[in-house]
Amino acid sequence: MEAPVFEEFDPESDCDCPGCVSRRRASHLSSSAPFGGHPSAHRALVVATATAAALGAAQATPAVAARQPPGRPGVPAGDEPATPQGRKAPLHGPAGRPARPGGPAGPVRTPPTTRADIIRRAEQWVSAQVPYSMSAYWHDGYRQDCSGFVSMAWNLPGNELTGSLDQFGTRISREELQPGDILLFHNADDPEKGSHVVLFGGWTDYTHSYYVAYEQTRPTTRRQATPYAYWSHSDRYIPYRYKGLTSPAPGDAEVVGAGGPGPETWRRLFR
């Protein structure tokens, strides 16, 4: 029996807004505060902050103050709670049922694709702001979690897992990374700790310390500058290159160059 594989983000039923984070971390300081819902939680946070400024003696506020570094929305803060990811599955149809019977068993198939096409498919989910889900499937048939997102970008014949994506790629070094490759963390020794995968979109500058990561995470698909290799568990992420890469088509160089998208492409993508 195979061990379960896990994503590294909270379930959708949990909330990580500042008010709820404050409630979970500082509930022992005040048992009578009205933290029943999100609006109240935010009001309580504002009141606590205002009181701290007036009295100069707030103690709950620092627990929430540096939740995320300035200018980097959605940055994970430390080790994220373990949550199960969706199971390995075939592509799904509009009604949410498998588009063909059975699972993606059998020989590993790597349909041909180009780097530019991989990035274009990833951009489509970013533009559509596909909601994160471990059980829902987007209209293209792919599961709306991190491994489903990479399965979609690589144009795989089914929805894979962080524990199976390596079969479709070749391990490479950091220096060899190019747009369309992935950074994969599958913790086989302790699946409940992490397991996540992101699509490499190119280095942000010559230092190669930050890169553009495409990833499926809560609340929706995102594209943002990310420290190499990731915000947490950085030493556990392994670069892989898709085995089915083919020669670029005419015009692909304008979308994906040898060292990543050029200035004009970034202006178009991030405008």
Give the domain extent around 259. Answer: 86-96+107-270
Structure-block tokens of residue 133: 């889900």
Q: For residue 83, what is the enclosing H or E element?
A: strand 83-84
Q: What is the CATH number of the domain that holds 264?
A: 3.90.1720.10
Mean of per-residue pLDDT scores for the chain: 72
Q: Is residue 73 part of a domain?
A: no
Q: Is residue 149 part of a domain?
A: yes
Question: Which among 231, 143, 252, 230 has a CA at the least distance from the CA of 184?
Answer: 230
* C-beta of residue 214 within 8 angstroms of C-beta of residue 262: no
Question: Which among 158, 166, 33 has a CA at the least distance from the CA of 90?
Answer: 158
Structure confidence at residue 190 (pLDDT): 74
pLDDT tens-digit series, residues 104-154: 455 678 999 999 999 999 999 999 999 999 999 999 999 999 999 999 999
Kindly report the pTM of this predicted structure. Answer: 0.62
The pLDDT-based confidence of 71 (bands split at 50, 70, 90) is very low
Q: How many domains does the chain have?
A: 1
